[in-house]
Amino acid sequence: MKRATAMILAWVFLAAAGANAAQAQNDAETRDGVFIHVSHGKDDSHRLLMALSMATMMSGDHPVLVYFDINGVEAVLADAEDVTHAPFKSLLQQLAELRQRGVTLMACPGCLKAAGRTPEDLAEGGQVADKSRFFSFTTGRIVSLDY
């Protein structure tokens, strides 16, 4: 009886270890991403710079996509004014860091048009939003932050 109990316990242990290994493999392949929506520009420097600060912080551990629309598109234009708001780094500093980290920076095409701008007006690293990228920049869940 003791031998049968020991065999059953060994089997349960091995099955649990196998399940944990499979879960760890799945976790390693699945990466949750962070989608940050920025609808404000210099009109609300706190919102703008807080959003970019969060993008920088999150990009250390997760794929990040920053989507700029409404007044936010002015922040990713090549001729964007530098914006400051303590205690954050300036707009141009944060955008440079995000580009260096490989963070995706997308602008709404309709909002660019409404602002009288074209995709050619975007700053280095900025790109026109593509809906398929909203779902393909990460393999896991998408956490959304809205500023």
Which residues have CB under 8 Å from 59's CB, separation 6+? 34, 98, 101, 102, 103
CB 33 within 8 A of CB 143: yes
Chain position carrying tokens 């809906």: 131
The rounded average pLDDT for each run of 10 residues, N- to C-terminus, in the chain (147 residues) is 54 49 52 96 97 97 97 98 97 98 97 97 95 88 93
Structure letter (DSSP) for residue 41: S
Question: What pLDDT score was predicted for residue 2?
Answer: 59
Quick one: CA dihedral 81, 85, 90, 92, positive or negative?
negative
- What pTM was computed for the model? 0.79
Question: What pLDDT score was predicted for residue 75?
Answer: 97
